[in-house]
Amino acid sequence: SQQGEEDPQALSIQEGENATMNCSYKTSINNLQWYRQNSGRGLVHLILIRSNEREKHSGRLRVTLDTSKKSSSLLITASRAADTASYFCATSSRGFQKLVFGTGTRLLVSP
Amino acid sequence: EAQVTQNPRYLITVTGKKLTVTCSQNMNHEYMSWYRQDPGLGLRQIYYSMNVEVTDKGDVPEGYKVSRKEKRNFPLILESPSPNQTSLYFCASSLRAVSTGARVLQETQYFGPGTRLLVL
């Protein structure tokens, strides 16, 4: 069953702009992770935020987590054409031995 | 180099012809998993393994088998492939899925490059 749902499904911006993607989930989680996937390739882990954290930074990435709203956002600042990819959130829920992925946001950054 | 490898990368086969997709990791990870990715459906977990000889079903296990005889390898077996198993398959591993009572903490997963399978 799908846990995370990303919004928007697709996002098109210009280089230098910020890109914000949102993820909503349904059940209580231990942590939430964001992954990136270039077309047809394997996913690459970007950042993990635990359920007791509210915000986390990594380079140009900023992730927030609101457990009361069961949502997370990924912000990519000063985007580059190389950021063009699909971005997935994935949640790990209590008592469940697996990571559940959303359907992803396709980001296109135009030069 | 730390990595997850899958073979083959591309495969075209016919309905009913048994096939195996291999997955190997060199990071001494305990946890390994198989996913399939289909348009509009994201990644769905097929099977996972917490450690050697410990495997369990994911969300879409029908038509698949796995085994975990060694820590580094986690092959995916399609005994009798059907066209609805045409998909992009990913193997992934992580250091551990720490279990504390009923709580399991899922850590970062490392993905293989994918296997694109077409079943005619």
- Chain B (48-107) residues lying within 8 Å, Cβ to Cβ, of chain A: 48, 50, 56, 58-59, 88, 90, 92, 97, 99, 102-107
Please compute the mean of the pLDDT values over residues A39-43 and round it to a whole number: 86
By DSSP bridging, strand A71-76 and strand A61-66 are antiparallel
Average of per-residue pLDDT across A68-73 = 95
Query: Is the Cβ pair A103, B99 closer than 8 Å?
Result: no
Picking from A42, A101, A102, the nearest residue to B113 by CB comes out as: A42
| In the block, residue with structure tokens 């989930």 | A25
On the question of pLDDT at B104 being above 70, the answer is no
* pLDDT above 80: residue A94: no
- State residue B40 phi and psi, 5-degree precision: 80, -5
Q: For an interface test with B, which of A43, A103, A106 has the most B Cβ atoms less than 10 Å from its Cβ?
A: A43
Q: Which of B29, B30, B106, B109 to mutate to test the interface with A (most CBs of A within 10 A)?
A: B106
Q: Which stretch, A40-44, A79-83, A91-95, B56-60, has highest mean pLDDT?
A: A79-83
State chain B's mean pLDDT as an integer. 90
Closest by alpha carbon to B94, among B16, B12, B1, B2?
B2
Instruction: For residue A73, give the H/E element and its range.
Output: strand A71-76
Residue B102 reports pLDDT greater than 70: no
Name which of A5-9, A35-39, A73-77, B54-58 the model is least confident about.
Answer: A5-9
Rounded distance between C-alpha atoms, residue B61 and residue B46, angstroms: 5
Distance CA(A87)–CA(A66), nearest Å, equals 19
Any A CB within 8 A of B3 CB: no
Q: Would the CB atoms of A42 and B102 count as touching at under 8 Å?
A: no
The pLDDT mean for chain A works out to 90
Mean pLDDT within A66-79: 96
pLDDT at B61 over 60: yes
> Which two structure tokens, joined as six digits, stand for B63?
């038509």
**Across A19-36, average pLDDT:** 92
- Supply the pLDDT for residue A31: 87
Neighbouring CB atoms inside 10 A of A21's CB total 25
